[in-house]
């Protein structure tokens, strides 16, 4: 599949994840988010930045528990962090957050 916007063509897999994560930038994130019917706000961007930094340091997508801990502590949601993650990305961490952050679909969750 191909994601097309602003005169650009970005290859995605059958589920809409980037084939080449190095093609990711904020415009790509916004296009992916539109496809998920999400308007990115400040907290979305903070979560995405955390995920991308985690990936850059470890070359693996952050497990949801690390993102929940980030939301709890850094964004100040405490015990409501898990709920907040699903408010930001209603169809789930892997299906929406990882996709919008430009990650390849994590293998553990792959359906194909």
83-112: b (≥16 Cβ within 10 Å) or e: ebbeebbeeebbbbbbbbbbbbbbeeeeee
| Single pTM value for the model | 0.90
In this predicted structure, what is the pLDDT of residue 60?
87
Domain boundaries, the chain: 2-109
State the fold for domain 2-109: Arc Repressor Mutant, subunit A (1.10.10)
- Helices 81-88 + 64-73 axis angle, to 10: 110
Question: Each residue of 8-35: pLDDT tens digit?
Answer: 999 999 999 999 999 999 999 999 999 9
In this predicted structure, what is the pLDDT of residue 112?
42
Cα distance between residue 70 and residue 19, in whole Å: 27
Question: Each residue of 36-45: pLDDT tens digit?
Answer: 999 999 999 9
Question: Each residue of 46-67: pLDDT tens digit?
Answer: 999 999 999 999 988 899 999 9
């Amino acid at each position: 599949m191909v994601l097309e916007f602003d005169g650009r063509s970005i290859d995605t897999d059958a589920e809409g994840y980037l084939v080449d994560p190095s093609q990711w930038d904020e415009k790509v994130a916004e296009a992916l988010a539109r496809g998920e019917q999400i308007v990115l706000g400040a907290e979305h961007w903070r979560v995405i930045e955390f995920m991308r930094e985690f990936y850059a340091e470890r070359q693996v997508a952050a497990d949801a528990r690390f993102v929940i801990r980030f939301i709890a502590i850094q964004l100040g949601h405490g015990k409501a962090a898990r709920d907040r993650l699903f408010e930001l990305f209603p169809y789930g961490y892997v299906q929406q957050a990882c996709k919008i952050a430009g990650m390849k679909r994590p293998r553990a969750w792959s359906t194909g």
